[in-house]
Amino acid sequence: MEQQKQTQRRSLGFYSVDPSRHTLLEDTQGLVTGALIAGLGFYFLNHVGLLTGGTAGVAFLLHYASGVSFGVLFFIVNLPFYYLSFRRLGWAFSLKTFIAIALTSVVTEVEQQFLLIEYLHPFWAALLGGLLLGYGLLALYRHRASLGGVGILAIYIQDRFGVQAGLVQLAFDFCVMVCAFAVVSPTIVGWSILGAVVLNIFLAINHRSDRYIVVR
């Protein structure tokens, strides 16, 4: 009887009976949670002038060079990558990724209205920022979403060729960090590299498509 009740609750949409699929509610909480955690990671990095890799790194570079809001730039920089997403990864992934990027962009814009940090050492910002971004991306990956750009490409390469998404993103991050020397100081680049390494090692260890059932 108890098992029947549990099955009924699952069938009402609280969570999926099929472990290889997510319900709308499960996807919603995954996208919102991932966006909130990733947004906090971006806030830590931005607070001390650090950056990261991928399209977020490009948005940070443009933000520091022009003064335009990071959240706005992050949303705009990701727009060209939706073509690849639609063609290669499908409408469901693309739509969830669009929502995740929009939510994260909004979170980074309003974060300072709810959180004020008086002092944050660059080392701690790089460490926690990298870990928070890793946790946020992991939550999004589990629900077949990403934070766009290189994340879209990394997921596609992992699904198609079996190369871990974290390692793919690490290569792109290296290129962004090289370009960063033209915008920020070498010290800032050094701390930023630490954060990017923390992020990508976390993803390389914790995100493997052959380990998790939920891949649809």
Q: Is the pLDDT of residue 8 over 70?
A: no
DSSP 211: T
Q: Is the pLDDT of residue 212 over 60?
A: no
7 membership: H or E segment, kind and range: helix 2-11
118-150 residue pLDDT tens: 899 999 999 999 999 999 999 888 888 888 777
Quick one: tokens of 30?
């995954």
Give me the mean pLDDT over the 173-178 stretch.
Answer: 84
Give helix 122-142 / helix 150-161 axis angle, nearest 10°. Answer: 50
Q: Which of 85-99, 156-170, 171-185, 202-216 shows the highest mean pLDDT?
A: 171-185
Burial class (CB in 10 A: 0-12, 13-18, 19+), 36: middle
Alpha helices (H) along 143-164? 150-161
Domain positions in the chain are 23-206
Tell whether pTM > 0.85. no
- Separation CA 197–CA 195 (nearest Å): 5
101-117 residue pLDDT tens: 999 999 998 988 898 88
- Separation CA 132–CA 120 (nearest Å): 15
- Separation CA 53–CA 74 (nearest Å): 12
pLDDT at res. 12:
53
- Separation CA 2–CA 127 (nearest Å): 45
